[in-house]
Structure 1
Amino acid sequence: MHGLVSSWQIWALLSAAFAALTAIFAKVGIEAIGSDFATLIRTAVVLVALSAIVAATGQWQPLGTISTRTYVFLVLSGLATGASWLCYFRALKLGDAARVAPVDKLSVVLVAVFGVAFLGERLSLPNWLGVILIAAGAVLVAHR
């Protein structure tokens, strides 16, 4: 069991499953309210849930032990997450969940490109082929 808990693949699959549920639940949830307000409610739920998890698992850290560099990049990540969520909910309000979610997952393609360009990561030819197939799949699913 310990091997499963420490497997990035399991966590990534769970992330994908919860992301899929996010799209379905959000599409129904935003029918009668504005997408930005819906994003605010979602964000509040995430904040409360994560606070409870961190408290329950004893993961609180003294804020003074965190480097300025870490704060800067976490703030930038938070701003990017917020922008992504606002755009995602707006797209769900306007479009079909079955089309919006795959286009949103073009983030996988962008992460691969950015990882290579900015983090010095390396992808093999089969990796690049997978990136291209993901991009093509997203385009085909979004096509009317």
Structure 2
Amino acid sequence: MWFVLALLSAVFAALTSILAKIGIENVNSHLATAVRTAVVLLLAWGMVFLTHAQSDIHAISPKSWLFLILSGLATGASWLCYYKALQIGQASKVVPVDKLSVVITLVLAFVFLHEQVTVKSAIGCILIGAGTLLMVL
């Protein structure tokens, strides 16, 4: 099931890029990011109330609060940079560079989460990096 959800995430991310590129034409990139964020916020809280998960908010530990807030700040910074890059660059070049996050995530997971680096994941990182370079040069 995780693979299907991850694949759907990739499809929606691809749609996000194309729809955003069309939508930010003649719109300040920060304003566009704020509009997008408001829609995401409404959707996320809608799912919380739809699934009756709102009562679980009291069970979130201080450590989880801290890291969720930091994650939110990183997401916001990513979106602000992404929308500005998408506004001034070609989607076919911006998106592959953005997807270097896969490589960076694997490195950070190795360093901070002590996840194993396998031969397959190392080769995958190299191929993603090389593929990105081929697409943007």
* TM-score strictly above 0.5: yes
SS of the equivalent of 1:86 reads helix
Partner of 1:3: none
**Identical aligned pairs, as a percentage?**
50
| 2:74 aligned with 1:112 | no
1:19-30 matched pairs, under 5 angstroms: 19-30=13-24
Look up the match of 1:125: 119
> Tell me, which stretches of 5 or more residues in structure 1 are unaligned?
1-6
Q: 1:20 and 1:66 mapped to 2: Cα distance?
A: 32
**1:40-119 alignment, distance < 5 Å:** 40-119=34-113
Matched, 1:11 2:5: yes
Long gaps (5+) in structure 2: none
Aligned residue in 1 for 2:132: 138
SS in 2 for 1:75: helix
Q: Which amino acid letter does the alignment assign opposite residue 16 of structure 2?
A: T
The number of residues matched between the two structures is 137
2:70 corresponds to which letter in structure 1? L
Taking structure 1 as the reference length, the TM-score comes to: 0.92
Per the TM alignment, residue 64 of structure 1 is displaced from its structure 2 partner at its CA by 2.7
Once the two structures are superposed, residues 45-69 of structure 1 have per-residue CA deviations (whole angstroms, 9 ceiling, x without a partner) of 0001111111111121343321100
TM-score (norm 2): 0.97
In structure 2, what residue type is equivalent to 1:56? L
Deviations 1:86-114 (A, max 9, x none): 00000001101111011000000000000
Task: Give structure 1 regions of 4+ aligned residues with deviation exceeding 4 angstroms.
Answer: none
- Shift, 1:42, TM fit: 0.1
Q: CA RMSD in A?
A: 0.9
